[in-house]
Structure 1
Amino acid sequence: MKNIKLIGGLLLIITAFTFISCENEPIDSAINLDDFDGGGTGGPMVFKADFGGNTWNGTVAQAVISGNLVSIGANRADGSTFSILISGNTTGTYPANSNIIAYTPAGSEYGYWSVNLANESELTGSIVISNINTVNKTISGTFSYKGYWSDSTNTSILPVDFTNGVFTNVPYTSSNPVANDTFFAKIDGIEFVEEQIDGALITNVSGMPDQISVVGSKNNGDRVGLNIIRSLAAGTYQFTGPLGENVNASCVLNNVLYNAESGSLTITAKTDTRIKGTFTMVVKNFTTSVTKTVTEGAFDVEYN
């Protein structure tokens, strides 16, 4: 079944790559955000978009920049949300279909997102990052896209055009890798050689429980990511699909997303700021049904 559930302003299939960090540090030692400080000024936060003859205005918005990834989330009191995930961390234009924009109506677990599951190469729109202000810690830009209902088994819901999307002065936080963090995994028997390790705490996101995010990533965008409910004690927990109750995981390999379908994660040690464990899993792409086997997974990271 080709469908994606969108809950609480987060794309749960990619929450392993969507962090809210407690740190406000430089993104990467190889990146100087001052180089693309586009002259933006302080001012009120705006997140809005037009569709269906109306303008949606977000009341709360937050962004996170981590490694080569920007995530932006916005919601309002009725429970509807927008989520944007960009594989990149500089000003510029990004195609919507190879990144993510998603609108989730209030009370729905599905939404309108920027990929046509029947034709994933369709150019559905774009996201423009116009300014990253490192003084005020804000990000600004625009977006527009043709949104397809994420449950493709429901063919009665037609696509919706989202236009005049604007995010202005959205506050961002950034994560910085810790020198003594470790991460290891093999994918189909070949070592995944990460170039960055990120641990972060996701707190108070639309009523969801606090979560710990652990990600090993390469500069080309390949990633292995884990999401762990923060309240879990040492022990073994099963992966049960993209919406698992206790743990979730996903991989991005050659720009293809895979979600954990089965396997387990064992927490061997945990403090208020650090978590250590092991994992094995089978991950699956929801469009092609291609699977990958992840073995010998191990991590030891600071997350607070």
Structure 2
Amino acid sequence: MRMLKTKLQLIVLFLIALVTSCTYEPVDGTVEPDPDGENVNSGVFKADFSGQTWTAKETQAVISGNFIEISAIDSKGDSFGFLIEGNAAGTYAANVNIVAYTPAGTEYGYWAVNDDNPTENTGSVIITSINTQTKTISGTFSFKGYWSDSDNPRAAMQFTNGAFKDIPYISQEETADVFTAKVGGTNYVATDISAIEINNFITIGALDANQNNLAIAIKSSLGTGSYTIVNTFGADVQGYYEDQNDEYKAVSGTLNITSKTDDRIKGTFNFTTNGTTPFIITEGAFDVEY
């Protein structure tokens, strides 16, 4: 299994922002807060660490063709995020999936992977039940988290007695988000779509059934119009494609933003990547909530 914590870290960033940006908006209202600010249909999510029990105020989950995504946030903005490669009940090793706790106000967090020893058994997430009638998911977890900012290391942290019960979930097809393209003339079929705004960029991307990543990053300040993709670090518009061998950066191309609101963006794109054999991305289109 290929490690999901890639250089691009598209899905990683999605999980960090999922609980605050509401990338996936339920169509049935099951995860909407009540008028008093309490989420009465949010299920239970809790864990023990630092000598206390952490309890979520709101939760959210998505089950797609290839992944289970679960997130939880408390009243201070601290959050847990899981991205599990699978779509059924079972035990999933923490170090080969994405399992993280992120304190409020930072993009860094405690990840269940030791960069100095990636094969270390750091814990697990156990999905005990997926109830397709009530559309809820339950399970348990425990893991050892390593601080993700290697330039400012912190001691590892143990998370124990983790449990989530009756967390409402939605299916990928319920999001109404669209992300399509052709890679080398072949249709790229997204199985998981993410869209977030973080660090002054809106990052939109997807995984296909083979876990190939396709993504574009757009500076948040850009409005409707046509923009050139250039091979410059930190450019206003950037594109990426990643297969099982490597990550490739767009060196030329165009992006057209046809519609943009405070929480949704629509447009088209095409670009050519670097690499010995460049990837040609054509007929790209997106219409997503971020």
User: What's the offset of the Cα at 1:63?
Assistant: 1.1
Please tell me the residue identity of whatever aligns with 1:53: G
Match of 2:243 in 1: 253
For residues 82-101 of structure 1, what are the alpha-carbon distances to aligned partners after superposition, in whole Å with 9 as ceiling and x for unaligned? 11111221111111111101
Structure 2 residue 110 is matched with structure 1 residue 112? yes
Cα shift at 1:154: 2.7
Structure 2: tracts of 5 or more residues without a match: 29-39
Which residue of 142, 148, 158 corresponds with 1:150?
Answer: 148
Q: Which residue of 2 aligns with 1:57?
A: 55
Q: 2:101 is matched with which residue?
A: 103
**How well do the aligned residues superpose, as a CA RMSD in angstroms?**
4.5
Q: Which region of structure 1 is more displaced relative to structure 2, 141-150 or 105-114?
A: 105-114
C-alpha contact (below 8 Å) 2:15/2:82 kept by paired residues: no
- Structure 1: distance between partners of 2:45 and 2:259: 37
How does the TM-score come out when normalised to structure 1? 0.66
Q: Which residue pairs with 2:156 in the alignment? A: 159
Gaps of 5+ in 1: 25-41, 284-289
Counterpart-to-counterpart distance in 1, 2:107 and 2:90: 31
The corresponding residue for 2:33 is none
Structure 1 residue 74: deviation in Å? 1.1
CA contact (8 A) 1:3 1:152 kept: no
User: What residue is the counterpart of 1:224 in the other structure?
Assistant: 214
After superposition, residues 1-304 of structure 1 pair within 5 angstroms as 11-12=12-13, 19-21=23-25, 23=27, 45-155=43-153, 157-176=154-173, 182-186=180-184, 194-196=188-190, 213-215=204-206, 217-218=208-209, 220-226=210-216, 232-236=223-227, 253-254=243-244, 258=247, 266-267=255-256, 269-270=258-259, 275-280=266-271, 294-303=279-288
Shift, 1:259, TM fit? 8.5
Amino acid at match of 2:283: A
**Partner Cα distance (1:154, 1:292) in 2:** 38
Contact 1:212 / 1:230 at 8 angstroms: preserved in 2?
no
Cα shift readout 1:100-138 (whole Å, capped 9, x = no counterpart): 011112233311011111222222111111222222222
Distance (whole Å) between structure 2 residues aligned to residue 248 and residue 165 of structure 1: 38
* 1:303/1:3 CA distance change after superposition, 3 Å: closer
Higher relative contact order (CA 8 A, sep 6+): 1
Q: Which amino acid aligns with 2:173?
A: N
How far apart, CA to CA, are the structure 2 residues paired with 1:281 and 1:122?
Answer: 38
**How many angstroms apart in 1 are the aligned matches of 2:60 and 2:103?**
19
Percentage of pairs with the same residue: 34
Return the alpha-carbon distance in structure 1 between the equivalents of residues 164 and 276 of structure 2: 36
- Structure 1 contact 199–302 (Cα < 8 Å) conserved: no
For 1:216 and 1:183, the matched residues in 2 are separated by 12
**Preserved CA contact (<8 Å) 1:23 1:176:** no
Count of matched residue positions in the alignment of Structure 1 and Structure 2:
264
TM-score by length of 2: 0.69
Secondary structure class of the residue paired with 1:11: helix
8 Å contact kept, 1:276–1:301: yes
